Homo-oligomer: A and B are copies of this chain.
Amino acid sequence: MCGTDSPASINKGSLTSANGNGTRSPTCSSDRVLNLEQGDPSVFQSYWSKMEDKCTMVISGSQLMSYISDFTTLCWFMEPEFQEAVRRLHRVVGNAVVDDRYIVVGTGSTQLYQAALYALTSPGGPEPVSIVSAAPYYSAYPEETDYLRSRLYKWAGDAYEFDKNGTGPYIEVVNSPNNPDGTLREAVVKNRGDEGKLIHDLAYYWPQYTPIIRPADHDIMTFTFSKSTGHAGSRIGWAVVKDKEIARKMSKFIEMSTLGVSKDSQQRAAKIMGVICDGYKNFKSDELFFEHTRRVMAERWERLRQVVDRNQVFSLPKYPKQYCLFSGELIEPYPGFAWLEAKEEEEEIDSQKVLRGCIKVQGRTGSRFGVAQKYVRVSLLSNEEVFNQFLERLSTIKSISNGH
């Protein structure tokens, strides 16, 4: 029961306040809001803490100073070591075809999404191209598509709706496994001849989140360091691209947008990917990266499902077991987010408000993902202390209707 709690005012700083020592660390006292709105991948930090020595990056004052990495290549600001590490990682994991494909580095997959829109639509026609994705879609797509009011493209919402009633040229973004709901997806819009193009956002197509059902082999696939290894602060993403001209245009976009991508972070990503791959080559680590992180995610999901089943207020998606080529086992998906749906019959229930008001947990409302506000997305990628607090608080909700 939580009827007496009034929704606290939003305090985004609750998890990153400075303590007396001048360092920033999470705090979890019961009167503070748990910010689980973003998918900040702190869960993987403990693994990397144990690997310190192997992964330490050292850069002297005179290294990596030039804009240019290799002017003879299409993506001239990409460090060769980074490209090599990306190809090697995909070969080890088997989640994407990289032979005879172009790699383009970006400042996170956020920039690569926009680079792909530019590459597929420029120089542009009289009308902007419609950009669609099946609801519930990643909440950042609409804003990232429309903030500059481009004449090249415009956000057109739910791909199912566009399939029924939309017309004209379009790009469908296929996010698989999907953020927020964790489902493995395929394109939705059908039978449009050559009017449609696809971008596959595969940020979460890694063994800690999902069975690897096949090596993905699409025209444009984007990945990110943030979700693969947990290093969000480095802002590194990459695209695997079939067509040379598309890869060239994506590189050109990044040149015009940011004149390249941090070399410091590219080198750090190459190093960390290399440590992961070396682990699989030598089998010397106590626990290999994807095995460790999959185990942590599996434990979190098991505990989460117990709490959700017990209090009967929300439901979670059920995922089928599928054969994972990476592990060689039939396994379940363990998405990075809990996609909670209120069980009450009323469609108007605002689950974000319920979580916020009743247990001071900040999630993100379903309406941001193009569906009803009875859904709310909650990050499962926090550190252990915050995750434990979340479960503890969630277990105290016994009824939504008493909650507001």
Contacts and interface: CB of A to CB of B under 8 A. Distances in A.
Given A16-B72, A71-B12, A71-B35, A55 B61 contact: yes
Interface stretch (A45-53, A87-95, A193-201, A346-354): A45-53
Copies held by the complex: 2
B62 A48 contact: yes
A172 B321 CA distance: 59
Contacts of A13: 70-72
A391 interface: no
Choose among A70, A108, A257, A264 the residue with the greatest number of B CB atoms under 10 Å from its CB: A264
Interface in A68-118: 68-72, 76, 107-108, 110-111, 114, 118
Interface residues of A, number: 76
A265 B232 CA distance: 13
A150 interface: yes
Given A48-B65, A52-B61, A152-B148, A258 B258 contact: yes
B262 A68 contact: no
A389 interface: no
Nearest to A268: B264
A262 B275 contact: no
B55 A51 contact: no
Interface stretch (A36-44, A156-164, A184-192): A36-44
Contacts of A322: none
A57 B61 CA distance: 8
A150 B118 CA distance: 12
B152 A149 contact: yes
A21 B132 CA distance: 48
A259 interface: yes
5 nearest A-B pairs in the assembled complex, by CB-CB distance: A55-B61, A13-B72, A262-B262, A48-B62, A233-B263
26 contacts: A12-B71, A12-B76, A13-B72, A16-B70, A40-B66, A48-B65, A49-B61, A56-B59, A56-B61, A57-B59, A57-B60, A58-B58, A65-B232, A107-B258, A107-B262, A108-B258, A108-B259, A124-B149, A147-B256, A149-B151, A234-B262, A234-B264, A235-B260, A235-B262, A258-B258, A262-B264
